[in-house]
Structure 1
Amino acid sequence: MPYNTESNYNAEDKIWSGPQCSNYFAPDISIGEIIFHEMRRHPKLIAQISDTENTVLTREELHLNSMHVASYMRSLGLVQTDIVGIIGRNTTHIFAVVYGCFFNGIAFHSLNTSYEQSTIEKLFDITKPRLIFCDGEDYEKVKSATEKLNAKIITMRNHQSGSISIEEVFATPVETDFQPARLEQGNDQTLAILCSSGTTGIPKAVTISNSRNILIACRSLTTDDVQYTHSTLDWLTCLATTVSSGVYSTKRIIADNPFDPARFLRVIKEYKVTWLMQAPSHMAMISNCPEFEQANLDSIRFYNFGGGRCSLEAQQLIRTRLQFDCMYFMYGFTEAGSIVSINYEFDKKPNSVGRLAVDYKLKILDEQGNTLGPNKVGEICVYSGQYWAGYYGNPEETRNVRDSEKWFHSGDLGYMDDDGFLYIMDRKKDMLKYQNIMYYPHEIEEVISQMPGVAEVCVFGIWNPLVGDKAAAAVVKKIGSKIQAQDVVDFVKGHCSAIYKHLHGGAIIVDDLKRSPNGKTNQQLMKAYFLEVTDKNN
C-alpha cells in the first residue's frame, strides 16, 4: 500500500476526513519551478518515448525544448494573465508546450480534438487564448473557430500554410540564465484549464491550481518507473501524468493513436510499464480482445483506474495477468483537481472507490441538505481545503458546484460504509422512476454484466407518460458470443426480482457504446441511438 489511507469519522457532524499529508517540496514554489529543477537533476535519463512517432527524448532535450517554447512566449510579451490554447493529441512535442507554460506561470486551456468547430469556438471564446497549439490536421477547423480572436496558431506536425511550425518556435533563442517565473499569485494561481465531461451541453472550462494535490496518486513514483496513460491533455489523468513525470523524473510512454487494446498490451510488455492510469471503458476492451489471453502485464506495479464503472469480471480478469496486487479503483472529478479517494483493498471491498485521499473531507447530503451517516445514499460533497478559481468566466455555475463554505457538490450519489469506504451509485441526474419507484441504471447494469457473453452495457430510461422511465439497455457482446437482445431482457427478468428494474424498454446489441471524448460511456448519446434503431424497426 503506497501510503496510509485510514479515514476518521466525526459522528456528531457526520463528516469523514482523510489523513493529513506533509509536503516534500517547499510550499512557496510552483509546479513549474519544481519540474524545471528536477529535470536538470537527471539530464541523461529518458523522459519520453512516443510509440506512434518513434521518437525518444532525454530529460535534457525535453527541458531545452520547453525553454525554447517559454522563450517564444516571452518574446511575444505574454504575461501570467494570458492563456495558451491546446487542442492536440499526445504527440512528441506537445509536452514541451505544457512545461513551457509551467515555466512561465501561464495557464493553458486544453480541448479535445474531437470537438466540433462550434464547441471549440465557444470554449476558446471564454478564455481567449493568444496562442493556440494544434495538429496540422485540425488547423483549418481551429482557424475557422478562432478567427475572431486574432490568435497565433502553431502546428505540432503536418504543418499547413499560414500556421507557425513548432520547429520555428524551437528556433527561439534561450537566454543563458533562463529561470522559471515566480507566480504572481502564489500557488493559488491557475496551472491549467481543462474541460468538464460535457455529456449535456457545452463543456465548462475548469481551472486547476498549482496545488500539490495533483500529485496525490503519484507520490510513490521513482526514476525507475515507466508511466503510461492514453488520455489527452484535456483530462485530469493526462495532466496528472504529465506533472508527475516531470516532478519524479520517470520515463513516460506516449501515443497519439485512437485506443487499440492489442497495441496497448504490446506497449505495456515492450516498454515494461510500471504505472498506469486507465479509463474503465478501455479495461473492458482489453479484457474482451483476443490478444488478452497471451497478455504479459508483469511489469505493472500501479494499475490505477477511475472515471466510470468497470465490471467486476473485467477487473478480475485483468488481475489474473498482474504479478502484483496493484489494481486501484479511484474516484475524483476535475473540479477537485485530483483523486478524492482510492481503494487499496480490492479483495476486502470490491467495487468500492476506497477511503479518502490525504487532506480531503467528505459528507453525504440528502435532498433536503441534511448530512447522512454511514450506509445512507445521498449526494457526495467534498472539501479539499485548496483554493479553486472556479469555472473560468462562469461565476454562476461556480457557485452551483461549490457552496459558500467551499464544499464541492459533486452531483454523484453514493455512501460511506462503516469502515469509511466510499461507494458510488450513480449521477444524481440519472435517477429514474418507474411507476413512482426510484431506481438507478447501474443497478441493472450490474445484473446484465453477470450474463455470460456480455462485455459492456449501458442502461438508460425511455420515458413513457403512463409508467415513467422504462429501463432499456445497449449491450456489447464478448468475442464469439451469440447472445441476442431478447436474451438480455430475459436474463434481467430471471435474475432481478424487482419488476420495476426489468427492461420494459427493451435491449439492443451494438458493436460499441457511444462515448464522450474521454472514453466514458455517454448515456444520452446511447439513448438517442437506441431510439433511432428501435424507431426504424417498428
Structure 2
Amino acid sequence: MDRTLTYADLDRLSGQFAAYLQQHTALKPGDRIAVQLPNILQYPVVIFGALRAGMVVVNTNPLYTPHEIKHQLNDSGAKALVVLANIAKNAAAIIKETSVEQVIVTELADLHSPLKRILLNFAVKHLKKMIPPYEFPQQIEFNKALALTNKPWQPVVQTPDDVAVLQYTGGTTGVAKGAMLTHRNLVANMAQLNERMKNVFRPTQELYVAPLPLYHIYSFTIHCTSAVALGNHSLLIPNPRDIPAFIKTLQGKPFTFFVGLNTLFNALMRNPEFLKLDFSNMRLTCSGGMALTAETTKHWLGVTKAPISEGYGLTETSPVVSNNPLESVQYGTVGLPLIDTNCKVIDDAGNTLPTGEAGELCVQGPQVMKGYWQRPDATAEVMDADGWFKTGDIAIIQADGYIKIVDRKKDMINVSGFKVFPNEVEDALSGHPDIVEVAVIGVPDGEGSETVKAFIVTANEQLTIEQVRKFAKETLTAYKVPHLIEFRKDLPKTNVGKILRRELRDQELAKAKQA
C-alpha cells in the first residue's frame, strides 16, 4: 500500500516491540511466540523484535483452520500470538484451549502515517467489511503495545545453538512437526546463499519482488535474512493469488530480482498485463519449492529475458541446500551444493551410491536443523549421529557435482515393477500448448501394482483425453503414459502454490472406498 520502511524504521520499531515483550508481558527468553501474518510491514518488525527479546518465533500460516492453529499453538507451547485482525476469527475460536497468554492484534495499515492509517483501517473494517468479529481474553492492539515502551529493550545473551525459529512442516513423514532452526542454522544459510550469489546480489542496490509468504522458510531466508544482511529492498505482495493487483503493484517499480515457483510463473504469464511490464532492470529469477518445468523455463526466459536460478532446499535445511550459480546455470538441475554443504545419495539399505545413480538424497551442513521439536523418534528417523539428514527426495549427483532431483521418494509410482517418477511425466505433459497445470499420481490397480493418473487444467475445453495420450506417447515410454486422465478447473495447492499430490491421492482413495 505504498508505504516503505527504512532500516532505521525497522531498527526502531522492532526495538519497541522487543521492549514491549520484555517489559509488559510475562514472556521470558526461550518462550515461543506465534506469528500469524501475511506479507505486510508488521511481519519483519515482529520477527526481529521477538528475536531481539530472545523469543522463539513460531511461523503460522494465516490460512490455517482453527484445528490447525490449535495443533500448532499447543504443540509449540506458544505463550503469545501476533495476528492480523482480518484472520483473527479462527484463532479466537480455539484460543482458550491453548497455552497462549497474550494476543497482539494488528490491522493492515497500522504502520502507515496517522491519517492514512485511520482511513485505510476504517475502510477495511467498515466499508469492505473484511474483518469478521473476534474476541480474545487477553488482547492488545499492536500500536498500543509499541506505544507502551518508555525504556529501551535489553539485549539477551544467546548461543548459536539456541533455537530461533520453530518452522512447522509435514517433513518426510507424518503430522506437522516443528523443525528447530537455530541461530547458527539461519545465519549459516544466509552466509552460504550470499557467498554463492556474491556476483549477483549487489549490496543496497537490489529490489526483490516478494510474492511468496514470508512465514514460509524459502521466502523467510531470502527476504528476512539474505536481503536484510545486504541492505537490500523487498517489495511485499500480501496476496499473490490476486494476479491483477499483484501486477499493478509491479507497474513502475524497477525490480531487479524475482522470487517464485513454477505455478506462480505460469499464472503471471497467462495475464496479458504482466507481459507489458518493464523487465529492463531484472537481473535474475530464483525458483524453488517445486520442480521447474522445461516449458515454464522457456516461456519465462522469453518474457523477462532474466535467467532462472533453480535451487533446492527443505524446511529442515533452513532451507537452501543447492542452487545454480548465475554464471553456469544448468537447466533441469538444482545446481551445486552451497559452501560447507555435503551431499550424497543412498539406497534403501543406507549404502552410498556412486556418481550418476539415483537414490535418496542426504545432506550434511551447518544449515541442517537441530531436530524436530519434542519428537526425538521422528528426528532419529531422518538424522544420524554424524548429522546427515535424509531428505526423502530421489536425486542423481552428476559427475560435475550438479544435483538433479528425480522426485519425492513417496511419490514414486510402481507400474508392474517399473519405476515412474511423476515429475518426468508432468514435465512432458506441460509441454502441450493447451495444458496450464498438471499433477501426476499413482492409483492402485487392484492387482498389487499402480496405474499412472494425470490431473490436468487446460486452457482449451476441446482438448480430449486421446489427444493428451497421443502427445505423451511422443516423449514417454508406454508404461509412463497416463492410463487415466481427469480434467479439472484447478488443482489443490499449498499456501506457497505447490501442487498437493497427497490431496489428490487421498481423494482417489476416498472414491475407491465408496466404490
Q: Same fold (TM over 0.5)?
A: yes
Superposed displacement of residue 451, structure 1? 1.8
| Unpaired segments ≥5 residues, structure 2 | 108-124, 126-130, 196-200
Correspondences of 1:11-410 after superposition (within 5 Å): 53-75=1-23, 76-148=25-97, 149-157=99-107, 160-162=134-136, 163-175=139-151, 178=153, 180-183=155-158, 186-197=159-170, 201-211=174-184, 212-215=187-190, 216-219=192-195, 220-240=201-221, 241-324=223-306, 326-344=307-325, 349-385=330-366, 388-410=369-391
Give me the whole-angstrom Cα distance separating, in 2, the residues matched to 1:221 and 1:346.
15
How big is each residue's C-alpha offset from its partner over 1:202-254, in whole Å with a ceiling of 9 and x where there is no partner?
32111211122231334534111112222223311222111233322222211
SS in structure 2 of the partner of residue 372 of structure 1: coil
Give me the whole-angstrom Cα distance separating, in 2, the residues matched to 1:263 and 1:62.
26
SS in structure 1 of the partner of residue 496 of structure 2: coil
Q: How many residue pairs were aligned?
A: 478
1:365 touches 1:372 (CA, 8 Å); kept in 2?
A: yes
Give me the whole-angstrom Cα distance separating, in 2, the residues matched to 1:223 and 1:379.
39
How big is each residue's C-alpha offset from its partner over 1:104-154, in whole Å with a ceiling of 9 and x where there is no partner?
221110111122211211111111111101111332321233313142111
What is aligned with 1:47? none
Give me the whole-angstrom Cα distance separating, in 1, the residues matched to 2:284 and 2:162.
30
Give me the whole-angstrom Cα distance separating, in 1, the residues matched to 2:371 and 2:224.
22
What is aligned with 2:392? 411
1:328 touches 1:344 (CA, 8 Å); kept in 2?
A: yes
2:394 touches 2:405 (CA, 8 Å); kept in 1?
A: yes
1:213 touches 1:338 (CA, 8 Å); kept in 2?
A: no
Specify whether residues 258 and 450 from structure 1 end up closer, same or farther in structure 2 by C-alpha distance, changes over 3 A only. Answer: closer
2:415 touches 2:450 (CA, 8 Å); kept in 1?
A: yes
Say whether residues 1:484 and 2:461 are aligned partners: no
Which stretch has the larger CA shift, 145-154 or 126-135?
145-154
1:379 touches 1:411 (CA, 8 Å); kept in 2?
A: yes
Superposed displacement of residue 468, structure 1? 1.4
2:193 touches 2:226 (CA, 8 Å); kept in 1?
A: no
Specify whether residues 81 and 458 from structure 1 end up closer, same or farther in structure 2 by C-alpha distance, changes over 3 A only. Answer: same
Superposed displacement of residue 492, structure 1? 2.0
How big is each residue's C-alpha offset from its partner over 1:137-187, in whole Å with a ceiling of 9 and x where there is no partner?
3323212333131421111116855431111111122425x453231xx11
Give me the whole-angstrom Cα distance separating, in 2, the residues matched to 1:476 and 1:199.
28
What is aligned with 1:518? 496
How big is each residue's C-alpha offset from its partner over 1:75-97, in whole Å with a ceiling of 9 and x where there is no partner?
12422221111112112212211
Specify whether residues 174 and 481 from structure 1 end up closer, same or farther in structure 2 by C-alpha distance, changes over 3 A only. Answer: farther
SS in structure 1 of the partner of residue 405 of structure 2: strand
Say whether residues 1:500 and 2:479 are aligned partners: yes
Which stretch has the larger CA shift, 193-202 or 133-142?
193-202
Q: Which amino acid aligns with 1:510?
A: R
1:229 touches 1:237 (CA, 8 Å); kept in 2?
A: no
1:269 touches 1:299 (CA, 8 Å); kept in 2?
A: no
Superposed displacement of residue 72, structure 1? 0.8
How big is each residue's C-alpha offset from its partner over 1:233-291, in whole Å with a ceiling of 9 and x where there is no partner?
33112221112333222222112224234444443442222222212221121223333
Give me the whole-angstrom Cα distance separating, in 1, the residues matched to 2:259 and 2:291.
14
What is aligned with 1:49? none
| Unpaired segments ≥5 residues, structure 1 | 1-52
SS in structure 1 of the partner of residue 497 of structure 2: coil
Q: Which amino acid aligns with 1:153?
A: V
Which stretch has the larger CA shift, 342-351 or 86-95?
342-351
1:188 touches 1:388 (CA, 8 Å); kept in 2?
A: no
Specify whether residues 382 and 249 from structure 1 end up closer, same or farther in structure 2 by C-alpha distance, changes over 3 A only. Answer: same
SS in structure 1 of the partner of residue 490 of structure 2: coil
1:269 touches 1:297 (CA, 8 Å); kept in 2?
A: no
Specify whether residues 195 and 232 from structure 1 end up closer, same or farther in structure 2 by C-alpha distance, changes over 3 A only. Answer: same
Which stretch has the larger CA shift, 413-422 or 340-349?
340-349
Q: Which amino acid aligns with 2:469?
A: V
Superposed displacement of residue 509, structure 1? 1.9
Give me the whole-angstrom Cα distance separating, in 2, the residues matched to 1:112 and 1:315.
29
SS in structure 2 of the partner of residue 259 of structure 1: coil
2:168 touches 2:179 (CA, 8 Å); kept in 1?
A: yes
Give me the whole-angstrom Cα distance separating, in 1, the residues matched to 2:172 and 2:241.
20
Give me the whole-angstrom Cα distance separating, in 2, the residues matched to 1:535 and 1:130.
42
What is aligned with 1:468? 449
Specify whether residues 199 and 391 from structure 1 end up closer, same or farther in structure 2 by C-alpha distance, changes over 3 A only. Answer: closer
Greater RCO structure (CA 8 Å; 6+ sep): 1
SS in structure 1 of the partner of residue 455 of structure 2: strand
2:163 touches 2:183 (CA, 8 Å); kept in 1?
A: yes
Give me the whole-angstrom Cα distance separating, in 1, the residues matched to 2:368 and 2:312.
20
1:375 touches 1:416 (CA, 8 Å); kept in 2?
A: yes
SS in structure 1 of the partner of residue 304 of structure 2: coil
Equivalent position to 1:450, from 425, 431, 442: 431
SS in structure 1 of the partner of residue 372 of structure 2: coil
Give me the whole-angstrom Cα distance separating, in 1, the residues matched to 2:194 and 2:244.
26
2:38 touches 2:215 (CA, 8 Å); kept in 1?
A: no
Superposed displacement of residue 535, structure 1? 11
Give me the whole-angstrom Cα distance separating, in 2, the residues matched to 1:134 and 1:372.
47
Which stretch has the larger CA shift, 353-362 or 202-211?
202-211
